[in-house]
Amino acid sequence: MGILFSFAVVVAIVLLVFAGVSGAGLNYLFAVIIPYIALLIFIVGMVYRVVNWGRSAVPFKVPTTGGQQTSLPWIAANKLDNPSTSYGVIGRMLLEVLLFRSLFRNTKAELHSGSRLIYGSEKLLWLAALAFHYCFLVILIRHLRFFVVPVPAPIEFLEFMDSFFQVGAPLVYITNFLIIIALLYLLYRRIGMPQIKYISLPSDYFPLFLILAIAISGILMRYFDKVDVVGVKQIAMGLVSFRPTIPDGIGVIFYIHFALVCTLFAYFPFSKLVHMGGVFLSPTRNLANNNRMIRHVNPWDYPIKSRSYEDYENEFRDKMKKAGIPVEKE
Amino acid sequence: MATKGKPPKPEELSKISYTPPSKGWMDTPVEFKPGMYCHGTRAKYLEAVGMPFPRDWSASEADWKLPDNWKEIVLQGIKERLQKFRTFHVFMDICVRCGACADKCHFFLGGGDPKNMPVLRAELLRSVYRKYFTTSGKILGKAAGARELTEDVLKELWYYYFQCTECRRCSLFCPYGIDQAEITIIGRELLNLLGLNIDWIMGPVANSYRTGNHLGLEPHTIKANIDFMIDDIETITGIKVDTTYNRKGAEILFIGPSGDLFGVPGNYVTMGELMLFHEIGLDYTWSTMACEGGNFGFFTSMEVAKKLYYKIYSEAKRLGVKWILGGECGHQWRLMNQFADTWWGPPDFLEEPVSPITGTKFENAKGSKIVHITEFTADLIKHGKLKFDKSRNDHLKITFHDSCNTARAMGIFEEPRYIINSVCNHFYEMPESTIREKTFCCGSGSGLNAGENIELRMRGGFPRANAVKYVRDTFGVNMLANICAIDRAALPTLMDYWNPGMDVCGVHELVGNALVMKGEIERTLDLRTEPLPGKGGTE
């Protein structure tokens, strides 16, 4: 159900843009108004989400420890999986954000002959996730060439690297195809693996279909249904300089691609995609395991009355005296 | 109090399918299966600590006698906690349902119930959160993974949030560190707003408030129990060890789990500790009030947890000790490592802990002033302060079970292993995916070691038992060592069920066996007063 629903929504967006541009001539709406709105929603939404999380208190320091603690000097501590200093925490976060360290631990449990649990290594999810995120990042950065004149050297270099195995023109980017493979694998997990299918919501399929559609429309317009790149750059430059222009003769495929991207941006703050910001705020990862060294203060701590020793002794004094246990009041 | 259910035979229980049903989880109402849940708490226990809506009720009956405004209370409770706990707030929002946690939970691995996949256990509450606290959930409803909070949903939360032992294994594998333990803790707080705790947690909480320990041991009983141990130690070693209670001016206050003061095999741990402290001439005392480092309040609500931990520093202050030494207990160390100082600190009336024997400064405990006993003992051994006859443990082939809390909320891995290797000749590790930070729960943690949920416990302990079976069959392991009182209470039952013949012990029992004491008689008995094979005892 969720699969069809999400797929249908993406198809509907594509059809809507197609009709809007080629039928009703709503080029300005799709190339100017919606992009501005989407970007605004993205920025305001993400800032709101992160600020909102940030406003929630961190009453206790509860890192999940993934290695030996720092204790006696002759015992080697695992400074990254169980950091006790801020540097360690930064290291742990870098590993987490840049290399998906926790996902790298992934195992797959199987029950053999009804009696033996075996834990195999399961790195495909890690690999696909890493491939997808890095491809997305590279593609995003590559697209900056549309928004700046002249194109900065780092972007040119990235393009060069990304098309390293290229023969002929136009440049074929490795990431374009890797991202599709990664997305298809992630989609396969949700459709082909019963457990993952069971936990998946429409909001899990939707971003996959949406980003797939973005990638496919991008590839189509680059290699097959080629659009006027100069015109596209004019639109992009117009948007960043707040003097929007719409040159004629840009294929509808561009508008579809662009509208899908806008959908992604606008959808982002309302979805699970906010994990992009949330991962930095996860208290089980971004805190040091040094509570016994440095006191953590609970900002909303309030006084609690508990049983006093006096109360305790009053109840048990006779028994204590009889047993020869010292008491405060004889 | 708890009627012991009889679980199906192991051969039956290990027929587990991990394939979920075709019907979606939101459309599958909760089914209360006997043996899989605990008795609801009795009113008197809630009254003992002043908790709301005390009443006698039963989970198996349709009417849970909820207050009229229960829904409002829960929703208000969620709202407050979103602001008070960033963990909860972030974890409600950022899960992408990648499923990495799914097959990491011992309850899922041992039972196959898809709602025991941590991701789904969280979704049970997340779906409610979405419905009432997110724009998309309010507008799109089920399409956004949102659902109404109904009585059935509340019951489902209760059923599954008392099928989680807060072991944090899922959190280790989650790419964002989403910790179901945190979500379970909040979920249980919400349930406790309606008086919906379980008897097995609330009874110990009430006991702990009154007597200072879960078992309800009164001061003279504590002394009597330790006296028995001292007599046994004299029988075994010929040495009469001495100890003190509530002694002002002692250098160190020792606080262990009360489970080690009562019943086997925990009492052997205490015996080992008494022998060790005697041998090194440690200036320490017990507090009959702060005689429990464990805290079932932590399985109830943060407030109750804090309430029950008042005694720790207040007794240290009253007795005028310099620092605190904590015993072998799992969740005690979750709290002593991550909560004690925040709750009742700073303990500026104490001194930075220094071992009086070796002079080692325990830098890692300089703030909270609480040292773990395996840190203390490992340091003694490293400095050559103890003499051991390892051969006294030669009849044992040992493996070590890392407890969830000491593993994933502390990271104390090398200290106990160093001690075991110093006092035993035969030590074997379980498979890599089942130890250290990846360790599996005993299946009975977080207050779930009752009798009526025995099937749940045997299922939850299945992955642990399975790894123990592996080292038993491969290396002939016959002793499962650990540093947790709940392990010592729960693992014997688990082993009897899955791996009959496997014994369970604490690390300091092994220390006591091997420790060569000044002036001792030739040992023919181990701490269990059983003949030591090959030591002149009658075998």
A9 has a chain B CB within 8 A of its CB: no
The answer to whether the CB atoms of B212 and A312 lie below 8 A apart is yes
A283 neighbourhood in chain B, CB within 8 Å = 86-87, 90, 177
- A292 lies within 8 A of chain B by CB: yes
Question: To which H or E segment does residue B212 belong?
Answer: none
| Overall domain count for chain A | 1
At A223-272, the pLDDT tens digits run: 888 888 899 999 999 999 999 999 988 999 999 999 999 999 999 999 99
* Signed CA dihedral, A187, A192, A195, A201: sign only: positive
Give the separation between CA B114 and CA A193, rounded to whole angstroms.
13
Assess whether B242 and B153 both reside in one domain: no
Residues 268-287 of A with CB under 8 A from B: 270-272, 274-275, 278-279, 281-285
Supply the ipTM of this predicted assembly. 0.95
Across-strand partners of A107? A121
Query: Is the CB of B97 less than 8 angstroms away from the CB of A272?
Result: yes
What is residue B286's three-state secondary structure? strand
Contacts of residue B352, defined as CB under 8 A and 6 or more positions apart, other chains included, come to B323, B361, B362, B365, B366, B369
SS3 B228: helix
pLDDT above 60: residue A35 = yes
Report, as ranges of residue numbers, the positions in chain B whose pLDDT lies below 70: 1-5, 536-539
Q: Is A324 on the interface with B (CB under 8 A)?
A: yes
Strands B252-255 and B284-286: parallel
Residues of B in Cβ contact (< 8 Å) with A282: 87, 90-91, 94, 176-178
Cα B365 to Cα B468: distance, rounded to the nearest angstrom: 33
Q: Which residue in this structure is represented by tokens 């440049």?
A: A171
State the Cα–Cα distance between residues B44 and B71, nearest whole angstrom. Answer: 24
CA distance A42 to B500: 60
Name residue A133's amino acid: H
Q: Write the residue in A71, A285, A289 that is nearest to B177 by C-beta.
A: A285
Residue B76 contacts by C-beta under 8 Å, 6 or more apart in sequence? none
The alpha-carbon gap from A109 to the nearest alpha carbon of chain B, in Å, equals 6
- Does residue A289 belong to the interface with chain B, where contact is any CB pair within 8 Å? yes
Distance from CA of B522 to the nearest CA of A (A): 32
B145 and A316 within 8 Å at the Cβ level: the answer is no
Contacts of A130 in chain B (CB under 8 A): none
Closest residue of B to A103, CA-based? B175
Residues B375 and B456 in one domain: yes
β-partners of residue B401 are B482
Buried b (16+ CB within 10 A) or exposed e, B426-448: bbeebeebbbbbbbbbbbbbbbb
DSSP one-letter code for B238? S
Q: Given this model, what pLDDT does residue A156 score?
A: 87
User: If phi over 0 gives left and psi between -120 and 50 gives alpha, with beta otherwise, what is residue B168?
Assistant: left
Kindly state whether residues B374 and B447 are assigned to the same domain: yes
B-chain residues within 8 Å CB-CB of A68? 411-414
Do B260 and B172 have their domain in common?
no
Phi-psi region of A146 (alpha: psi -120 to 50; beta: other; left: phi over 0): alpha
Cβ–Cβ under 8 Å, residues B437 and B407:
yes
Per-residue tokens: B437: 């930070």
Cα separation, B508 vs B245, in Å, equals 21
Q: Are residues B168 and B222 in the same domain?
A: no
Same domain for B356 and B380, yes or no, is yes
Q: Is residue A309 part of a domain?
A: no
Tell whether the model's pLDDT for residue A102 goes beyond 60. yes
Same structural domain, B221 and B166: no
Q: Taking CB atoms and an 8 Å cutoff, what residues of chain B touch A324? A: 223
Burial (0-12, 13-18, 19+ Cβ within 10 Å), B476 = exposed
Answer yes or no: is A330 within a domain. Answer: no
pLDDT over 70, % of chain A: 98
Dihedral (CA of A233, A239, A245, A247) sign: positive
Distance, in Å, from the CA atom of B527 to the CA atom of B241, rounded to the nearest integer, reads 14
Residue A167 above 70 pLDDT?
A: no
Q: B531 CA to chain A: closest CA distance, Å?
A: 33
pLDDT recorded at residue B2: 42
User: Is B19 near chain A, with CB under 8 Å?
Assistant: yes
DSSP A120-148: EE--HHHHHHHHHHHHHHHHHHHHGGGT-
What distance in Å separates the CA atoms of residue A106 and residue A122, rounded to the nearest whole number?
6
> Contact B507/B374 with Cβ under 8 angstroms?
yes
Which residues make Cβ contacts (< 8 Å) with residue A55, sequence separation at least 6? B83
Q: Are residues B169 and B250 in the same domain?
A: no
Chain A: nearest CA to B310, how far in angstroms? Answer: 7
In a domain, residue A17? The reply is: yes
Give how far A140 is from chain B: nearest CA, Å.
21
In this structure, are strands A116-121 and A107-112 parallel, antiparallel, or unpaired? Answer: antiparallel
Q: Do A289 and B410 touch (CB under 8 A)?
A: yes
Nearest to A114 among B14, B86, B414 (CB): B14
Domain-located, residue B111: yes
Structurally, chain B folds into a number of domains equal to 2
Give the closest residue to B54 by CA, choosing from B454, B519, B267, B45: B45
Examine the domain organization and report whether B349 and B483 are in the same domain: yes
Do B219 and A316 lie within an 8 Å CB cutoff?
yes
Please answer yes or no on whether A71 and B362 come within 8 Å at the CB atom: yes
Report how far residue A121's alpha carbon sits from residue B434's, in angstroms, rounded to the nearest whole number.
13
Residue A326 in domain: no
Q: Give yes or no for B361 touching A (CB within 8 A).
A: no
- Of the three residues B141, B174, B197, the one that is the final residue of a domain is B197
Q: In terms of residue numbers, what domain contains B37?
A: 28-197
A111 part of a folded domain: yes
A81 in reach of chain B (CB within 8 A): yes
Among B13, B15, B94, most A C-beta atoms within 10 A, so best to mutate, is B94
- Tell me: do B262 and B168 sit in the same domain: no
Q: What angle do CA B471, B472, B477 make, to 5 degrees?
A: 90
Residue of A nearest to B378 (CA): A72
How confident is the model at residue A168, as a pLDDT? 65
Q: Is residue A313 part of a domain?
A: no
Give the mean model confidence (pLDDT) for residues A157-170. 77
Count CA within 13 A, CB hemisphere, residue A136: 16
B383, B388, B391, B395 alpha-carbon torsion, rounded to 10°: -90
Residue A7, domain member (yes or no): yes
B170 and B223 housed in the same domain? no
Instruction: Count CB-CB contacts under 10 A for residue B457.
Output: 27
Contact A315 B210 (CB under 8 A): yes
- Buried residues in B235-260 as b, exposed as e (16+ CB within 10 A): ebbebebebebbbeebbbbbbbbbbb
d(CA A250, CA B162): 60
The residue out of B197, B227, B260 marking a domain boundary is B197
Instruction: Report yes or no on B324 lying in a domain.
Output: yes
Say if the Cβ atoms of B364 and A202 lie within 8 Å.
Answer: no
Lookup result for tokens 């596209």: A232
CATH of the domain at A77: 1.20.950.20
Residue B112 in domain: yes
Task: Inform me whether the C-beta atom of residue B138 falls under 8 Å from chain A C-beta atoms.
Answer: no
Residue contact A61–B338, C-beta within 8 A: yes
Residue B147 to chain A, least CA–CA distance (Å) = 13
* b (16+ CB within 10 A) / e for B327-344: bbbbbbbbbbbbbbbbbb
User: Does the beta carbon of B365 lie under 8 angstroms from any beta carbon of chain A?
Assistant: yes
Q: Residues 148..177 of B with a Cβ closer than 8 Å to A: which?
A: 168, 171-177
Binary contact (A304, B307; C-beta < 8 A) = yes
How many CB atoms neighbour CB B226 within 10 A? 19
Q: Are residues B403 and B263 in the same domain?
A: yes
**Residue B173, amino acid:** F
Contact list, A294 vs chain B (CB under 8 Å): 367
Note whether B90 contacts A293, CB cutoff 8 Å.
Answer: no
Q: Does any CB of chain B come closer than 8 Å to the CB of residue A240?
A: no
CA distance A180 to A211: 9
A–B interface: beta-carbon pairs under 8 A? 326
What pLDDT shows up at residue B6? 79
Probe site for chain A from B87, B379, B419 (most A CB atoms < 10 A): B87
What is the nearest CA distance from B100 to chain A, expressed in angstroms?
7
- Whether A113 and chain B come into contact, CB under 8 Å, resolves to no
Residue A233, judged by CB atoms within 10 A of its CB (0-12, 13-18, 19+), counts as middle
Residue A305 covered by a domain: no
